Structure 1
Amino acid sequence: MWTESRTTPHARRRRPCLVGLAGAVLALLAGALPVSAAPGAVPQETAPRTLPALDDWTPGAGSYTYGDRTRLVADDAESRRVARTLVGDLRAAGHGTVPVTGGAARTGDIVIDVAPGRRQLGAEGYELRAGARLEITGAAETGAFYGTRTLLQMLAQGDAIPAGRTVDVPRYKERGVGVCACYVHISTAWLENLVREMSYRRLNQLLLEIKVKSDRHPEANTWGYYDKSEIRRIVALGAKYHVTIVPEINSPGHMDPWIENRPDLQLVDRDGKAQPSRLDVTKPEAFTYYKSLIDEYAEVFPSGWWHMGADEYMLGSDFAKYPHVLEYARAKYGADATPQDAFIDFVNRVQAYAASRGKRLRIWNDGLTGANTVPVAPGTTVEHWLDVDVKPSALIAQGHPVMNAAYSLYLVRGGFHTDTRKLYDQRWDPRSFEGEKLTSDRGITGAKISLWPDNGRGETENEVARATTPALDHIAQATWGAAHPDATYDAFTARAAATGTAPGVRDLTRVPIADGTYTFADRGGRTDARTVRIARTSDGYATLADDAGGACLETRSGKLTLNVPLQPGSAATWEKCDPKNTLQRWQIARAPGGYTLTNAITRMTLDTTVDGGLAQYPPDQETPTTWTLTQS
């Protein structure tokens, strides 16, 4: 994820695990004898440490030992897919390469089984039995896969796993993370790390407000976008790790990333002033435009969901400034209609179109103020983040599935960060909404944390990552199992630390060169070489300071979006060094013949211009300049 690793378990070379004769006998007995389920949960101190915690663990005698003779036994296609993914993850975690086979299992093997008849396990639950061999059974492929995540967490703590049995089924079907990659650009490596870390904790839904570079509307391709090949790669990783990627284009508010160059679609107030962030819901061509975006996103997002946002349409304004919206509503719904009805009408038209494309609609709750006479289409999922007049209980009573996206779960760059210690001590769970605490989980789909770049330069990706890890741990626990498995928050964080980091996560804080003085030059010879001092920052980037004048390389010119200069081609200049200025931090990456430099905030590369200047560009607009860094 964006995060610096919570822990970095050393890569362990596989080695023979020797046990005493008595231990071996006990392990064999444990595998031979059935482990019966105990009535009620066993105290957590007797269960292996996993995250989420195992609410149901029946201990057995002895242990299962992972060793050089271990095989993965899988007989059907679904089980073999799970096994093949596990092979890669075991290797990435330092556990060596394990063969996949079929047929009879032997001592030390890991057996993966998808048994549709085990309906009580549901789509995501699994049974794990550890003894002379270790067996993972799911009624569906996803359940068996989640069992392998638990296994990996156990192996992160040693090759010997205590004998026992668990049946582990999630309490909520939606366990998510929301990320706004909607104005600023977040590196694909960070997003891929996030998918792996989510899956490791059995979180299953990544909701991405994201801008895909458009073939149909090139005028909308202002920076912050992702090309379709990048999206396909993220979606494929999500499918492999059982994380559904749900796309969002926020509308009809917050539409400026898409319509800032389309004044014909912008809402205009009574004084004739256009609003670049607001789509005019009364215009047929505005709806046609939004439908075309849904169609284009469907090319790369196979998810059965469409998120249209629908929040903050009148943020900083009010419907009274747009009298034609009320006229539209009354013309369509009668004299008693309100301007809010025009807004709900747009939501419902999007819902109907999404349904025609085989997708279910999701929206935020704050636009549902009760000032409408037209109801929201039944079945629309509402993500509740803000306390307004229409409470979660009312939304559920109206037939809307409701996800808890409480503001208390937010992490805002340079702003509010969720207090997981406080939430844990309060025993927060998905029934605790902003403004209302429900006594039943009926109608609640689950919960998610939300990451927003309101101050885009307030923190770097790696800084956000460090802050996000505890929130990921907490939301995973609260949506899968008991909200308070350990007596103290410190004990809970110790549990999380023991499970380690997801296999395959890339260390995005690594700087490939040592601190020191270097000759800095464009390999193409367009710019003059200069002497710079390179120093690693605490969050894993680097600063480049001019050794002669003490100024630092920074990108600051151009139009600001969320406090970030996001215009391609804007200059990079040498400015007074400020260790708190994130725009002076650069990601250095190896490239053939040298290095590339990417700004930590704008995510554009440092390039040379035809006149020998320095500028930032998206890597798909200009071939990134290769820089030589020769240590003095």
Structure 2
Amino acid sequence: MDLIPAPRRSTTALSAEDFVLDEATVIVAGPGTEGAARWLRATVGAATGLPLAPGTGQANSLTLTLDETDGGTAAPEGYLLSVGPEGIELRGGSAAGVFWGCQTLRQLLGPAAYRRAPVHPRAGQLGHWRVPACRIEDAPRFAWRGAMLDVARHFLPKDVVLRYVDLLAVHKLNVLHLHLTDDQGWRIEIKRYPRLTEVGAWRTRTKAGLRESPLWDERPHGGYYTQDDIREIVAYAAERHITVVPEIDIPGHSQAAIAAYPELGNTDVIDTTTLPVLTTWGVNPNVLAPTDTVLRFYENVFAEVLELFPSQFLHIGGDECAKDQWRASDTAQARIKELGLDGEDELQSWIIRHFDRWLTSQGRRLIGWDEILEGGIAEGAAVSSWRGYAGGIAAARAGHDVVMCPKSHVYLDYRQSARADEPVPIAYVRTLEDVYRFEPVPEDGLSPAEAAHIIGAQANIWTEAMDSVRAVDYMAFPRLAAFAETVWSELPAPGARDYDGFTGRMTSHYARLDALGVEYRPPAGPLPWQTRPGVIGRPIDGPPPIV
């Protein structure tokens, strides 16, 4: 059946006839499954041209049911899909489980089910669609199955974000982490502080490639999401059982905010009124000042953000905060002395702890990159472990929840092969197989209780070198499909992933991606228009250490 991600258990009933969807097929939607029924009509109905009308329990039906009892047929996000000649029964442990089962059903219908209109309609007929007789029992391995999309470095319009929500849903990924602010742009409307988007959302030009590149794109670049745009994205994702986690980066990666409101910077060290929105990449010395003004400012920002995002978590970044300005700042040094802190690392920790307490008071939780471990981790914080496994291991041992996203494995801006024609080669080669063999839970170093704090993993799509949706497609796919199987499908044994079997199933999946219009990297290498000759990256020889 070539399903991706692979289900836990599946059997084909070779002795039974397939089920045929036709104009008479109805959807019988039990209580709590109405959303999945609407989705089926909007997507599968559009692709097939079939009405898939509401119906009762007669034959020739697709029946959707919830089974939320303790002894039920499915885990909370799991499902049981049974297909026979008389109909299809899909039973989920929750509305999400039913929805993921619908994604599997769509795969069983073939690549044409991923188009937005029928491609082979007969004259006056809608045709028949076969579903193989089978039984599939399935449930995800991890609760957090995420992808981070960096819309700060290169802005991606709302329709692109909505398209990526659909692509995550196709792969049973359930978290979209939106990197909304950085030195190079502020992408979310904050009504109390309009200059964040009036000034902070726009830069005069953009480095083409990484810092080493001599090339510039001299066009101004920018954009942002209105609060209604955000509400639409969040609601669209929720209908597909995807949680949108916003990231507002502090105290580093904040030059766009300082360009809009210079009082946020270290004004006793530099003239912050001269700072523009940053036009190049890398770790930046211009960071937020550790003042009460900054704390109140971001409390007000976060208050508006929380109204827009119902996510349990708010991501506050916390990574790559250069401390040079704090070392030179009388204001920062006075604050260190006032609070009895042991240097600048603890000063950053003090800021993170402040917002951990503030978010807790609002009924939410803080999550940040693993630098928030430096100087002491905030009590209720969760950690996105990006610099390797070490941060995640340390956090899990201390009783904190962890999302594993090590750059050594799941940074999808890294090059996909050692070929000279890979576009803007960055860092290490991370092939489809490398991503497929990523293991979120380290084999050594954690007890079972500690390992339970690894709530999932995510792949990160940083867009410094991705200046269009075509470039994002190329870098994200097919590796995101491999990642999806890593976080959904249970391992039969440690290290026992069947890469040959996966690549065989990918033959069918490439056809689905084609139907969706995804411009993925072909297995044979980039097509001529996917290369970017002359735009250099940052080659690094050899694999990174696994730490």
The residue that corresponds to 1:523 in the other structure is: none
The one-letter amino acid paired with 1:164 is: C
Change (3 A) 1:213 1:73: same
The residue that corresponds to 2:231 in the other structure is: 232
Q: 1:310 Cα deviation (Å)? A: 0.7
* Correspondence 1:142 to 2:108: no
The residue that corresponds to 1:290 in the other structure is: 298
1:452 counterpart (458, 462, 465): 462
Residues 411 and 418, structure 1, Cα contact 8 Å, conserved in 2: no
What is the correspondence of 1:303-318 to structure 2 with a 5 Å cutoff? 303-314=311-322, 317=324
The residue that corresponds to 1:627 in the other structure is: none
The residue that corresponds to 1:53 in the other structure is: 6
The residue that corresponds to 1:606 in the other structure is: none
* Correspondence 1:74 to 2:10: no
The residue that corresponds to 1:358 in the other structure is: 363
* Correspondence 1:111 to 2:47: no
Residues 172 and 479, structure 1, Cα contact 8 Å, conserved in 2: yes
Residues 182 and 257, structure 1, Cα contact 8 Å, conserved in 2: no
Q: 1:57 Cα deviation (Å)? A: 1.4
Change (3 A) 1:428 1:506: closer
The one-letter amino acid paired with 2:88 is: L
* Correspondence 1:188 to 2:158: yes
What is the correspondence of 1:182-261 to structure 2 with a 5 Å cutoff? 182-210=152-180, 211-221=187-197, 222=199, 223=202, 224-261=223-260
Matched residue of 1:411: which SS?
coil
Change (3 A) 1:473 1:387: closer
Matched residue of 1:128: which SS?
strand
The residue that corresponds to 2:336 in the other structure is: 329
Change (3 A) 1:459 1:273: closer
Residues 428 and 478, structure 1, Cα contact 8 Å, conserved in 2: yes
Q: 1:91 Cα deviation (Å)? A: 2.1
Q: What TM-score, normalized by structure 1, do the two folds share?
A: 0.66
Residues 380 and 400, structure 1, Cα contact 8 Å, conserved in 2: yes
The one-letter amino acid paired with 1:403 is: V
* Correspondence 1:86 to 2:56: no
Residues 420 and 474, structure 1, Cα contact 8 Å, conserved in 2: no
Residues 189 and 506, structure 1, Cα contact 8 Å, conserved in 2: no
Matched residue of 1:134: which SS?
strand
The residue that corresponds to 1:421 in the other structure is: 432
The residue that corresponds to 2:418 in the other structure is: none
Q: Distance in 1 between matches of 2:169 and 2:311?
A: 17
Change (3 A) 1:275 1:252: farther
Change (3 A) 1:420 1:330: same
Q: Distance in 1 between matches of 2:305 and 2:30?
A: 37
Residues 366 and 387, structure 1, Cα contact 8 Å, conserved in 2: no
- Looking at secondary structure, tell me which structure has more helix per residue: 2
2:74 counterpart (117, 121, 130): 121
Residues 234-263 of structure 1, C-alpha deviation per residue, up to 9 Å, x if partnerless?
A: 112101111111111101111122221322
Change (3 A) 1:122 1:432: same
Q: 1:478 Cα deviation (Å)? A: 0.2
The residue that corresponds to 1:377 in the other structure is: 378
The residue that corresponds to 1:176 in the other structure is: 146
Q: Distance in 2 between matches of 1:438 and 1:493?
A: 33
Q: Distance in 1 between matches of 2:263 and 2:475?
A: 41
Matched residue of 1:185: which SS?
coil
Residues 281 and 287, structure 1, Cα contact 8 Å, conserved in 2: no
Q: Distance in 1 between matches of 2:274 and 2:321?
A: 11
Change (3 A) 1:400 1:429: same
1:471 counterpart (458, 474, 479): 479
The residue that corresponds to 1:3 in the other structure is: none
Q: 1:353 Cα deviation (Å)? A: 1.6
1:340 counterpart (345, 349, 373): 345
Q: Distance in 2 between matches of 1:293 and 1:281?
A: 16
Change (3 A) 1:140 1:478: same
* Correspondence 1:487 to 2:500: yes
The residue that corresponds to 1:4 in the other structure is: none
Residues 404 and 447, structure 1, Cα contact 8 Å, conserved in 2: yes
Residues 508-555 of structure 1, C-alpha deviation per residue, up to 9 Å, x if partnerless?
A: 99xxxxxxxxxxxxxxxxxxxxxxxxxxx9469xxxxxxxxxxxxxxx
Q: 1:496 Cα deviation (Å)? A: 2.5
Q: Distance in 1 between matches of 2:518 and 2:97?
A: 29
Q: 1:411 Cα deviation (Å)? A: 2.7
> Over alpha carbons, which structure has the higher Rg?
1
Q: 1:319 Cα deviation (Å)? A: 5.0
Give 5+ residue unaligned stretches, structure 2: 113-128, 181-186, 203-222, 276-283, 414-422, 492-496, 521-527, 536-547
Mean CA deviation greater in 78-87 or 297-306: 297-306
Q: How many residues align?
A: 453
The one-letter amino acid paired with 2:110 is: A
1:320 counterpart (321, 327, 332): 327
The residue that corresponds to 2:115 in the other structure is: none
1:368 counterpart (369, 373, 382): 373
The one-letter amino acid paired with 1:201 is: H
Q: Distance in 1 between matches of 2:270 and 2:464?
A: 29
Q: 1:491 Cα deviation (Å)? A: 1.7
2:440 counterpart (418, 430, 433): 430
Residues 177 and 449, structure 1, Cα contact 8 Å, conserved in 2: yes
The one-letter amino acid paired with 2:335 is: Y
Residues 179 and 450, structure 1, Cα contact 8 Å, conserved in 2: yes
Which one has more relative contact order, counting CA pairs under 8 Å at least 6 apart? 2
Matched residue of 1:230: which SS?
helix
- Looking at secondary structure, tell me which structure has more strand per residue: 1
The one-letter amino acid paired with 2:259 is: E
Q: 1:229 Cα deviation (Å)? A: 2.2
Matched residue of 1:57: which SS?
strand
Q: Distance in 2 between matches of 1:120 and 1:91?
A: 27
Q: 1:270 Cα deviation (Å)? A: 5.3
Mean CA deviation greater in 360-369 or 266-275: 266-275
Change (3 A) 1:275 1:164: farther
Q: Distance in 2 between matches of 1:261 and 1:421?
A: 41
Q: 1:275 Cα deviation (Å)? A: 9.9
Q: Distance in 2 between matches of 1:74 and 1:154?
A: 20
Q: Distance in 2 between matches of 1:264 and 1:294?
A: 18
The one-letter amino acid paired with 2:30 is: D
Q: 1:454 Cα deviation (Å)? A: 2.3
Q: 1:360 Cα deviation (Å)? A: 1.3
Change (3 A) 1:311 1:120: farther
Change (3 A) 1:437 1:58: farther
The one-letter amino acid paired with 1:382 is: V
Residues 12 and 134, structure 2, Cα contact 8 Å, conserved in 1: yes
Residues 433-458 of structure 1, C-alpha deviation per residue, up to 9 Å, x if partnerless?
A: 9xx88686422111111111224xx5
The residue that corresponds to 1:391 in the other structure is: 391
Residues 206-227 of structure 1, C-alpha deviation per residue, up to 9 Å, x if partnerless?
A: 0001221232112222333211
Q: 1:322 Cα deviation (Å)? A: 3.8
Change (3 A) 1:382 1:465: same
The residue that corresponds to 2:213 in the other structure is: none
Q: Distance in 2 between matches of 1:430 and 1:418?
A: 19
Residues 382 and 403, structure 1, Cα contact 8 Å, conserved in 2: yes
Q: 1:349 Cα deviation (Å)? A: 1.2
What is the correspondence of 1:26-45 to structure 2 with a 5 Å cutoff? none
Residues 124 and 142, structure 1, Cα contact 8 Å, conserved in 2: yes
The residue that corresponds to 1:497 in the other structure is: 510
The residue that corresponds to 2:132 in the other structure is: 162
Q: Distance in 2 between matches of 1:174 and 1:486?
A: 23
Q: 1:493 Cα deviation (Å)? A: 2.4
The one-letter amino acid paired with 1:72 is: I
The residue that corresponds to 2:55 in the other structure is: 101
Matched residue of 2:298: which SS?
helix
